[in-house]
Amino acid sequence: MRPVLTRGLTAAAAATLVSGLGVAVATSASAAAGCRVDYTANSWSTGFTGAVTVTNLGDPISGGWRVTWAFPGNQQITQGWSATISQSGQNVTATNPSWSTTIGTNASVNFGFNANYSGTNTNPASFSLNGTACTGGTTPTSPPPTTTPPPTTPPPTTPPPTTTPPPNGSKVDNPYAGAKGYVNPEWKAKAEAEPGGSRVSNNPTAVWLDRIAAIEGTDDSSSNGSMGVRDHLDAAVAQGAGYIQFVIYNLPGRDCAALASNGELGPNDLPRYKAEYIDPIAAIQADAKYKNLRIINIVEIDSLPNLVTNTSGQAGGTAMCDTMKANGGYVQGIGYALNKLGALSNTYNYVDAAHHGWIGWDSNFGPTADIMLQAAQASGSVNNVTGFITNTANYSALREPFVQPTTSVNGQSVRQSKWVDWNQYTDELSFAQAFRTKLVSIGFNSNIGMLIDTSRNGWGGSQRPTAASTSTNVDTFVNESRIDRRIHAGNWCNQSGAGLGERPTAAPATGIDAYVWVKPPGESDGSSSLIPNDEGKGFDRMCDPTYTGNARNGNSLSGALPNAPISGAWFSAQFRELMANAYPAL
């Protein structure tokens, strides 16, 4: 992960937070109408965030949509998103934004709002879509023509048939719950070849598909292994696994802010990405013999956050990130992947959402969530997103028990320290939970779950603090108290002193679907020096232990281990150190 440490909320950004309320008129198509509304309210003492999902159960709607309801109490909306929202007394009208004027049959739209209230925050009793009550069934918008007068006493009727296909087919809410994870036999063999490696070799790890050739598998690859997608799926079936994890990682202009994990596709190769990469993966995953496997796709590491933090005007801005933002390759590519890979009843998409040391500042937090929504909307529906993953292939500590944003030292907040640098978060769990709340508030489904990659964020061993520092200097206090022992939170490559973190676990905390090992421990982040290869992987100075840094890491030493191979290749010294510093200890 390539963080850019940017702080503060600009006046323009703050103004945006209170915009979006107004009046608009939507027209509806003359077609059978019927709808279902899912409404949630995340309340606190005087306010709440509302999330609304409207599913059209009738004929397609064109020309715009309008959702209306009445609050039963004194609720007053202050801010809305993904719809234009107006309120008169208790009556609320939400109309479509300009980019969302249609709702297909069984398709959904999502919008949200913030509101104030006092007393009891009771949910609305009913909703209407374009004037038709959303009862979960279908009703005609106008009566059919008739040649006889209607009867004075209506005959007994039965309710119209209800068409309620679940938006995610037969998907479960949490694919990790109650399921055995797939153990990659190639990674297992490498782990067990190391002294003591059998202590961790039976943990499930993800399979990285970082180039087109990885789909079929190669015998001459120096990284990731030789088995292809179908090989892994067959092996998962043979193991009796309940789920398998793939990392979808080959966007055009991939990883625009770094070199160690650049890819094979150029910035204008979106057609190749679709036809030669995503389509073949989707076709294999669709094979009926894998229908009982929960196939989890981790979608495009390091992509969308780069469009927020590493474009022009930012400390880490690059020309390639500017190009990918301008041509829409990341948003459209991820949208296509979500659409194709999310179409099956047994597939689950988790989109990469960086980590707290990258987007934990207000100036990055909201804009990153917004661009996640753009990519989901480009896929056709937010239902294509099961959740998000943070800390992928990174080292941010899961919990910082002694250094929290509310901690103060001699009258100074720890946020004022050089390490925290005004970040709103100091550990990954609190960040992931907060980011989930933000994502739901802007229109993602309320049941999305978060994953946290804990493969290398344990930071155990003799250097792990066991109590808070007694220093009255805020910088000294933070440096002596923090679990994360990196030189700088912006360091991301083969970090010295790191250890294995929490073992893969389902549903370990509120809003968290699982702790996972998506980055297989022992696979390098990048080479310490230039190593020619045919996998499109370059050399990044952040992987050089002698590098004294740049603006992205506060001009600090990189903290990288020496003698590392190219990204994805086995790095024995790193694996042994991760085991030695594991927390919980092995």
pLDDT in tens, 283-322: 999 999 999 999 999 999 989 999 999 999 887 789 999 9
Query: Do 296 and 402 reside in the same domain of the chain?
Result: yes
Instruction: Flag whether pLDDT at 389 surpasses 90.
Output: yes
Given 509, 524, 539, which residue is the final one in a domain? 524
For 278, which DSSP code? I
- At 487 the pLDDT is 96
Query: Do 109 and 192 reside in the same domain of the chain?
Result: no
Quick check: is 158 in a domain? no
Query: Do 72 and 208 reside in the same domain of the chain?
Result: no
Poorest-confidence range of 27-41, 290-304, 390-404, 433-447? 27-41
DSSP secondary structure of 25-60: -----SS-EEEEEEEEEEE-SSEEEEEEEEEE-SSP
Quick check: is 77 in a domain? yes
Q: How confident is the model at residue 265 (pLDDT cuts 50, 70, 90)?
A: very high
Q: Does 69 belong to an annotated binding site?
A: no
- At 319 the pLDDT is 93
Tokens of 450: 């978060």
Tokens of 578: 């991760």
| Residues 561 and 575: beta-carbon distance below 8 Å | no
CATH code assigned at 123: 2.60.40.290
- At 550 the pLDDT is 86
Given 524, 541, 563, which residue is the final one in a domain? 524
Q: How confident is the model at residue 260 (pLDDT cuts 50, 70, 90)?
A: low
Q: Does 208 belong to an annotated binding site?
A: yes
Query: Do 86 and 206 reside in the same domain of the chain?
Result: no
Helices (H) and strands (E) in the chain, counts: 14, 20
- At 316 the pLDDT is 78
Quick check: is 464 in a domain? no
- At 29 the pLDDT is 38
Quick check: is 117 in a domain? yes
Separation of CA 50 from chain center = 20
Q: Does 187 belong to an annotated binding site?
A: no
- At 105 the pLDDT is 85
Q: Does 358 belong to an annotated binding site?
A: yes
CA torsion angle for 386, 388, 394, 398 (degrees, to 10)? -100
Query: Do 294 and 381 reside in the same domain of the chain?
Result: yes
Q: What mean pLDDT, rounded, does the chain reach?
A: 87
Instruction: Flag whether pLDDT at 157 surpasses 70.
Output: no
Can you tell me the mean pLDDT for 148-156?
Answer: 35
Q: How confident is the model at residue 49 (pLDDT cuts 50, 70, 90)?
A: confident
Residues 514 and 177: their CA atoms lie apart, in Å, by 8
Q: Does 91 belong to an annotated binding site?
A: no
Percent of the chain predicted with pLDDT > 70: 87
| Bridge partners for 70 per DSSP | 91
Q: Is 320 helix (H, G, I), strand (E, B) or coil?
A: helix
Place of tokens 């990405």: 273
| Residues 209 and 246: beta-carbon distance below 8 Å | yes
- Which residues participate in catalysis according to the annotation? 255, 302, 525
- At 182 the pLDDT is 98
| Bridge partners for 254 per DSSP | none
Residue in 184, 183, 335 with CA at minimum distance from that of residue 248:
335
Residues 252 and 271: their CA atoms lie apart, in Å, by 9
- At 339 the pLDDT is 97
Q: Is 390 helix (H, G, I), strand (E, B) or coil?
A: strand
Q: Does 523 belong to an annotated binding site?
A: yes
Can you tell me the mean pLDDT for 543-567?
Answer: 92
Quick check: is 80 in a domain? yes
Residues 529 and 541: their CA atoms lie apart, in Å, by 8
CATH code assigned at 511: 3.20.20.40
Instruction: Flag whether pLDDT at 174 surpasses 50.
Output: yes
Separation of CA 474 from chain center = 33
pLDDT in tens, 496-545: 999 999 999 999 999 999 999 999 999 999 999 999 988 778 888 999 99
Tokens of 399: 């919990």
- At 141 the pLDDT is 38
The residue ranking higher by pLDDT, 431 or 19, is 431
Query: Do 437 and 504 reside in the same domain of the chain?
Result: yes
Can you tell me the mean pLDDT for 395-402?
Answer: 97
Query: Do 283 and 427 reside in the same domain of the chain?
Result: yes
Query: Do 306 and 451 reside in the same domain of the chain?
Result: yes
Can you tell me the mean pLDDT for 269-294?
Answer: 97
- At 257 the pLDDT is 86
- At 19 the pLDDT is 30
Q: Which domain holds residue 300?
A: 185-407+421-458+499-524
Tokens of 406: 């509310």
Given 508, 524, 540, which residue is the final one in a domain? 524
Quick check: is 58 in a domain? yes
Poorest-confidence range of 46-50, 421-425, 431-435? 46-50
- At 514 the pLDDT is 98
Residues 516 and 173: their CA atoms lie apart, in Å, by 17
| Separation in Å, CA 190 to CA 474, 549, 570 | 43, 32, 8
pTM: 0.72
Quick check: is 574 in a domain? no
Residues 251 and 417: their CA atoms lie apart, in Å, by 36
Quick check: is 12 in a domain? no
- At 79 the pLDDT is 78
Query: Do 347 and 281 reside in the same domain of the chain?
Result: yes
Q: Is 243 helix (H, G, I), strand (E, B) or coil?
A: strand
Q: Does 171 belong to an annotated binding site?
A: no
Can you tell me the mean pLDDT for 466-488?
Answer: 97
Structural domains counted in the chain: 2
CA angle 170, 436, 368 (to 5 degrees): 115
Query: Do 103 and 204 reside in the same domain of the chain?
Result: no
For 61, which DSSP code? B
Can you tell me the mean pLDDT for 557-571?
Answer: 94
Query: Do 253 and 361 reside in the same domain of the chain?
Result: yes
pLDDT in tens, 119-144: 999 999 999 999 999 998 654 433 33
Query: Do 106 and 214 reside in the same domain of the chain?
Result: no
